[in-house]
Amino acid sequence: MHERLDAIVIGSGFGGAFAIDHLVNAGLRVALVERGPWRDTAPVRAAGITQRSPLPHGRHAFTHLVRRVSAPFLPARGIAPHAHGLFDLHLDRDMSVVCSSGVGGGSHVYTAMNTPPAVDHYWDNRADGIDAAAMRAHCDAAIARMGARVTPTGGRIPNATADRYANHPLFSAGADQPAMSYDYARDAHRDNAIFGCADGSKTTLDALLVAPAMQRGLTVLDLHEALAIGPDNNGGWRVTLRDHRGGGYRHLAAPRLLLAAGTLNTLRLLFESRARGALGAMSALGLGFGGNGDSIGYWACNEHDADYSLGAPCHGHFVPRGVPAAAPLMSVGLNGIDALPLPAALRRRLKRDLVLVGMGADEANGFASCRDGRLRFHYPAAANPVLARMRAAFADVARVSGKPVHTLARFPVTVHPLGGARVDDNPARGVIDGRGQAHGLPGLYIVDASALPAAPGSPPSMSIATWATHVAHGIARRG
């Protein structure tokens, strides 16, 4: 790469991809550093990307499912079976975290729900320079860009809760169904959710934002992992990269560096770079971590002639009839199970059960720490009443249906980790200011879920996109 860069973005999920889109539109020369590969999907092929890596489908499940596993009983940085793996699993006592790897970030594994924060006032009074009305407009624009819409009723989309529970004696569909970025007009309605979507029926950010930005000058360094960041001699920021394709290491520098590696990996980068003395005190690093109230249950309903693996990536909300709902739950089939090499009998059984997902604004009162390279999440589950409400909702479903809902109540897991490098005007409480810039470190910005000031209580992708849009607009405006 010879030309001078205006900005480097690390990570291409909801924070990175939305920031890139706006920066490139504003005419900035941007390089994207993404540790994962381009995924081999129909829209990525159509975009002319030649070096692609399979989703973990069929025999590729053995090699491409897991990128890294970290756990207290493993070496500090975990084990990394395959640089092309899709999932990054961080197992911890208080809170385990699941995220993913690849150009497009979490959009490959998400269930495509793209919704605003649960409360209208989410962005009010967060920090100087954040205009709540402008944030609502950014959120609306992001949802429109993602083409999200509520599942149509009428029985054409298999297992949609609005149809399934329309006249059901025990359950009813929730009033507010989530909008999804999914092409309901397709016929297959299979293999489109957490193991990736090869046919493009689910909207992913690689095809929607990253590949088009390349046409406008974006440089993409896929399979390049940022290992360290720090100030550059020329007054900007320098990133040390590991090249997972060609091997070896390289450096990039630019006046602006935007971190968008996702909560788990942005925090890891910040902690490790701070330990090397590159970031000053950054005393609020790790504060305000939470899991967005995520609660996951396995409803062993074993419904006779059901195939719950079919449908949109998420079936929608539902509540038991006749009891005050503790919380609406989302019904998710094991969509994608056909793509995994499993014994036929097990696959048949799994298709008759459902995964239940609940979430709500938790207190984001946990914290992350890092000692000798080992990242840990500390999360006081008992001090987060939303989790008890979710447990009550699971119990209601089990009681009303007479079928068990299994949970890992003692081992909270989140797919929505957030905070730890949150926005707050006070450097003792937050890592970044209302422009997204790290306190006392001009040119260093954070645009992913780690920057969120609180739990949105809804699927967070559009709150992250809103924040990234706000930060990128500010950078473009200030020049």
Ligand X SMILES: Cc1cc2nc3c(=O)[nH]c(=O)nc-3n(C[C@H](O)[C@H](O)[C@H](O)COP(=O)(O)OP(=O)(O)OC[C@H]3O[C@@H](n4cnc5c(N)ncnc54)[C@H](O)[C@@H]3O)c2cc1C
Q: Tell me if 7 contacts ligand X by CB under 6 A.
A: no
**Residue closer to ligand X (CB basis): 294 or 403:** 294
* Angle made by CA atoms 448, 453, 459, in degrees to the nearest 5: 60
The tokens describing 66, both together, are: 């897991």
Q: Tell me if 222 contacts ligand X by CB under 6 A.
A: no
Phi then psi for residue 150, to 5 deg, are -70, 145
Which of 416, 422, 439, 470: binder of ligand X (CB under 6 A)?
416
Integer CA distances (angstroms), 245 to 64, 221, 475, in order: 15, 10, 32
Give the shortest CB-176-to-ligand X separation in angstroms: 15
Give the shortest CB-91-to-ligand X separation in angstroms: 14
Which of 148, 210, 285, 449: binder of ligand X (CB under 6 A)?
449
Pairing state between β 38-39 and 366-371: unpaired
Q: Tell me if 460 contacts ligand X by CB under 6 A.
A: yes
> Do the beta carbons of residue 219 and residue 30 sit within 8 Å?
yes
Which of 226, 252, 354, 364: binder of ligand X (CB under 6 A)?
226
Which of 105, 117, 316, 453: binder of ligand X (CB under 6 A)?
105
- Selected range binding ligand X among 108-116, 118-126, 158-166, 435-443, rule: CB under 6 A: 108-116
User: What is the crossing angle of helices 132-146 and 461-478, to 10°?
Assistant: 110
Which of 38, 110, 165, 377: binder of ligand X (CB under 6 A)?
110
Question: Which amino acid belongs to residue 454?
Answer: A
Which of 5, 7, 9, 11: binder of ligand X (CB under 6 A)?
11
The tokens describing 164, both together, are: 């399934």
Tally Cβ neighbours within 10 Å of residue 343.
8
Q: Tell me if 220 contacts ligand X by CB under 6 A.
A: no
Q: Tell me if 13 contacts ligand X by CB under 6 A.
A: yes
> Do the beta carbons of residue 60 and residue 54 sit within 8 Å?
yes
Q: Tell me if 208 contacts ligand X by CB under 6 A.
A: no
- Selected range binding ligand X among 32-40, 281-289, 336-344, 379-387, rule: CB under 6 A: 32-40
Which of 295, 461, 466, 469: binder of ligand X (CB under 6 A)?
461
Q: Tell me if 33 contacts ligand X by CB under 6 A.
A: yes
List, in sequence order, the alpha helices (H) in 2-160: 14-25, 42-46, 61-64, 132-146
Q: Is 391 helix (H, G, I), strand (E, B) or coil?
A: helix
- Nearest CA-CA partner of 35 in 229, 197, 209, 241: 241
Cα–Cα dist 121/222, whole Å = 37
Give the shortest CB-305-to-ligand X separation in angstroms: 27
Residues near ligand X (CB under 6 A), total: 40
Cα–Cα dist 312/322, whole Å = 27
Q: Tell me if 10 contacts ligand X by CB under 6 A.
A: yes
Which of 5, 8, 12, 430: binder of ligand X (CB under 6 A)?
12
List % helix, strand, coil for the chain (3-state, nearest 5).
25, 25, 50
The tokens describing 183, both together, are: 């092409």
Q: Tell me if 265 contacts ligand X by CB under 6 A.
A: yes
Give the shortest CB-268-to-ligand X separation in angstroms: 7
Cα–Cα dist 462/135, whole Å = 11
Q: Tell me if 260 contacts ligand X by CB under 6 A.
A: yes
**Residue closer to ligand X (CB basis): 68 or 352:** 68
Strand partners, 257: 8, 444
Which of 86, 109, 210, 431: binder of ligand X (CB under 6 A)?
109
Which of 37, 174, 262, 457: binder of ligand X (CB under 6 A)?
262
Instruction: Report DSSP state, residue 459.
Output: -
End-to-end CA distance of the chain: 22
- Selected range binding ligand X among 124-132, 261-269, 390-398, 401-409, rule: CB under 6 A: 261-269
Q: Tell me if 30 contacts ligand X by CB under 6 A.
A: no
- Selected range binding ligand X among 9-17, 123-131, 149-157, 436-444, rule: CB under 6 A: 9-17
Touching ligand X, residues 59-88 (CB under 6 A)? none
Q: How far is CA 248 from the centre of its chain?
A: 29
- Selected range binding ligand X among 14-22, 51-59, 138-146, 300-308, rule: CB under 6 A: 14-22
Residues 6 or more apart from 314 whose CB is under 8 A from it?
111, 112, 113, 178, 180, 193, 330, 331, 332, 357
Binding site for ligand X (CB under 6 A): 10-16, 33-36, 98-102, 105-106, 109-113, 194, 225-226, 260-263, 265, 269, 415-416, 448-449, 459-461, 464
